[in-house]
Amino acid sequence: MPGKDKCITKEIISLKKPSALDKVIDIVPKPQGAIPNFGLPKWKVMPLESKIPMIPGPKNAYCFTRRKLGKRLWLRTQTTDFDLTDPYNYEINFPYDILHDEYLKSTLSRPKNIKHLIKLGFITEDLDAKCSLKDYNVYRRYLKKLHNDSINKELKLKAELNDERRALQLAEERVNNYIERLNEQEKKNEVRNEARERLRLEEQSRIRKQKENLVKVMQRCTLIAITKKEAALRRLEKSRAKSEHIQQKRMAAAEIERQRIIKTIIQWKHSEHERKKAVKQRLIEERERKLKSVEEKWERRQEHQQKQMHREQFLMNCLQEERRIFIEEYNKKVERHRNKIQSCLKKQKRFRKCYAARTISEHKRRICCRIPNQKKQRQHNEDKGYKNALCLPKLQSSRIDDRIAKIRDKIEKERKGEVKPQKTKLKQYKTITTSKKKFSKKEKNVLEKKEALSELEQDHNILLNLTKLEEFASQPLPLPMTKDKCKCKKISEMKNTVK
């Protein structure tokens, strides 16, 4: 198709045509390590002056390596001359790399060290020392420089050979031209051989001299070439000796630098050890100080809580003492009231007996409280139907006394702790609030005081209810209507009390 033909022609036009210099470059062998054995296929064809780009790829797709483990990066060959273009290594500088140190080769080549270096990713399984892309491109630039030196030497050698070839060609052309001219002259002068015999001999002698001169020139050229080669060899030896001297100086400087680095590393390790020791000592002191402060705080907290517990115990004792005094006073008051009620009941019984004695037998008027005969009185009461009337006050008073005794026993048991008291509204409120909120110590003390007061109020209310029951029981039953009046002083006093 025409579109495809155009694309193909464009690609053909865009291709770089090899020049004579490219052919010379291809002829000159590249230094060792210039062609990478990893990565993409174009990297092997890529010229040394171009950098290898950073291209993301799968894991272990390529590893940048320069030389084997323990091999130095500087390459020395017999054909290289001493280079003075970069005496201070500004263009290419290889910093110290422990993997390429020749003196550590025996140490690094141990199996354990090799396994450890492979595990850390510093070398490959083929014992090639790994490097970064930047270092690899710098090494390629160094190899390019070596390759350029060898190319320049090849070009110089070819130029010298071309010069010698041209000189020989010119000499041969001159000789050939001259021989042709001589032949032509000989042909022209065949008729005049005799006349020109002398000239021919002279010409032959001259030709012989020229040939001798030509041989001398050739010998001189060979001698000049030999002397040039010898001078080049002498210069090469001098440059090699000088390069060896400079290399020795560099090695001495590198050894001094290495010793200085080792010394600084030892000093750094010593200072680091001292620093770690000081840090450890400081941490131990700080830990001891913290433990001491914690123990002091713990002791202060114990003392404070013990004082607080003693104070709370003292307040509870005071509260119990006040409660006990209040209960004793209240019991005395209740006892007085009870005695008063019992005296009133006794007076009421006497009054009833007196009233019944006056109205039992045949409605006779009596002015005294004496009962003639108990049997007759009981018989008379049964006959008249006053049995219930006489027994009711006695039964009612006994039941009230039993009830009062039971309530008092219950109060005493609750006070001793044998029976759990009923929860008051305050306790219920306390259980509800404490489940939702945590009170402080002062609030707890206030709540305990309120609870104690509520219990006292509850006991007080119970006793008041008992007194009301006793008062209700002490009220007389409805008496029969009579116009009789007792003239006894005691009966009149009972009447006044009842009214």
The pLDDT value recorded for residue 131 is 85
Give pLDDT, residue 452: 63
Q: Cβ atoms within 10 A of the Cβ of 375, count?
A: 8
pLDDT at 385: 43
Beta-bridge partners for 65: 130
- What's the pLDDT at 414? 62
Low-confidence ranges of the chain (pLDDT < 70): 1-8, 10-20, 27, 29, 33, 41, 74-84, 86-87, 89-91, 355-408, 410-446, 448-449, 452-453, 455-499
Distance CA 124, CA 130 (A): 7
Q: What CA–CA distance (Å, rounded) separates 496 from 499?
A: 5
Q: What is the rounded CA–CA span in Å between residue 293 and residue 476?
A: 80
CA distances to 388, 421, 435, 437 from 427, rounded to whole Å, are 48, 11, 12, 15
| Burial class of 204 by CB neighbour count within 10 A (0 to 12, 13 to 18, 19+) | exposed
Annotated domain spans of the chain: 21-161
Provide φ and ψ at 48, rounded to 5°: -70, -25
Please give the pLDDT value at position 199.
Answer: 75
pLDDT at res. 84: 67
* pLDDT for res 281: 93
Reported as a single tens digit per residue, the pLDDT across 140-179 is: 888 888 878 888 888 888 889 989 999 999 999 999 999 9
User: What's residue 272's pLDDT?
Assistant: 92
The long-range contacts involving 305-314, CB below 8 angstroms and separated by at least 24 positions, are 308/441, 312/445
Contacts of 282 (CB under 8 A, 6+ apart): none
Ramachandran angles phi, psi of 130, nearest 5°: -80, 155
Q: How far is CA 141 from the centre of its chain?
A: 45
Residue 102's pLDDT is 86
Q: Beta strands 65-68 and 128-130: pairing type?
A: antiparallel
- Provide the pLDDT for residue 262: 94
Give the residue from 21, 16, 246 showing the smallest Cα distance to 148.
21
- Judge if pTM exceeds 0.75: no
Instruction: Tell how far CA 397 is from the center of its chain.
Output: 86
Dihedral angle, C-alpha 147, 153, 155, 161, nearest 10 °: -150
Contact present, 182 and 207 (Cβ < 8 Å): yes
